[in-house]
Amino acid sequence: MEENSVEKNSVVKIGGSVDEAVKGEYSLDVKAILKEAWQITLKSRMAINLGLLACLLIGMLVSMLVSSQLGGIEVAIQDQQSATLLNIIVTLVVYPFIVGIEMMGIFHSVGLKTQPKLIFAFLKRGSWVAISALLTSTLVTIGLTLFYLPGIFLAVALSLVLPLVVEKKMSPMKAIAVSLQATRFQWFKIFALYIILALAVMVAAVPVAAAGASELGFIAIAFFLFCLAYIAPLFYNVKGILYREIFGLQLHTSADQNSTLNDTFSA
């Protein structure tokens, strides 16, 4: 991790930069990223898990409220137009909160502690985040509809769009363009990281599938949730390290704070 101080009482630049990223002037080590992310996860998983739980509850509440206006959740799911509308509304409402979890991973990557309330810290950029989330999900869906490979490529290439909108204050279209330009140079390594994490989820789910409706089902589900409590934070910490290494970030500090990046971040 590269760190350069720019002036006292000013800004600390950490990691890469957008200018370097779009030219491919960065490198990624899959093994090193996983190792660092795991060490971070062991110390920081609680904040992300509580944030995810809050986002899940918000998503469930929005789904129930919207589906009640569409004739009930079963009707909404069975009708394609209603299901699409429900998905769009949930995306627009929930992602301004989820971006806070993305930022937790980024802050963890530079040694900052976080709190679950960070999911509320970026709502002032909520409209841009919501539009970005809707655009990226639409592009990925179109890619998957045309053929799986374009959809998979876009899902990986656009996975860092939301932090660009929040941390770099980019517009949705610019963030999408920059993410596509930058990630193409190391796409396969980023893909490898996501595949490893996806395989971890699948392995954790094997006991659930094996147990089925048997008496061991409860134990299998408990085991899966226990594993997920580590894998989910690991995913966001991996994304945080990727963002740091590819795009970098700037921390506003004072002269006596330059060496104390472990202080709790306060939104």
Tokens of 19: 């200018």
Domain ranges of the chain: 3-255
pTM: 0.88
Question: What's the mean pLDDT in 19-27?
Answer: 95
Task: Calculate the alpha carbon distances from 110 to 23, 40, 238 in Å.
Answer: 23, 10, 12
- For residue range 38-76, what is the model confidence (pLDDT) as tens digits? 999 999 999 999 999 999 999 999 999 988 887 777 777
Q: 250 versus 121: which is more confidently predicted?
A: 121
Mean pLDDT score of the chain = 88
User: Residue 261: pLDDT above 50?
Assistant: no
Q: What is the pLDDT of residue 9?
A: 54
Q: What is the pLDDT of residue 137?
A: 94
Q: Could you tell me how far CA 134 lies from the centroid of its own chain?
A: 15
Q: What is the pLDDT of residue 259?
A: 37
CB burial string 37-62: b at 16+ within 10 A, e below? beebbeebbebbbebbebbeebbeeb
Q: What is the pLDDT of residue 2?
A: 45
Q: What is the C-alpha to C-alpha distance for residues 15 and 243, in angstroms, rounded to an integer?
A: 9
Q: What is the pLDDT of residue 257?
A: 46
* Reported confidence tier of residue 184, pLDDT bands at 50, 70, 90: very high
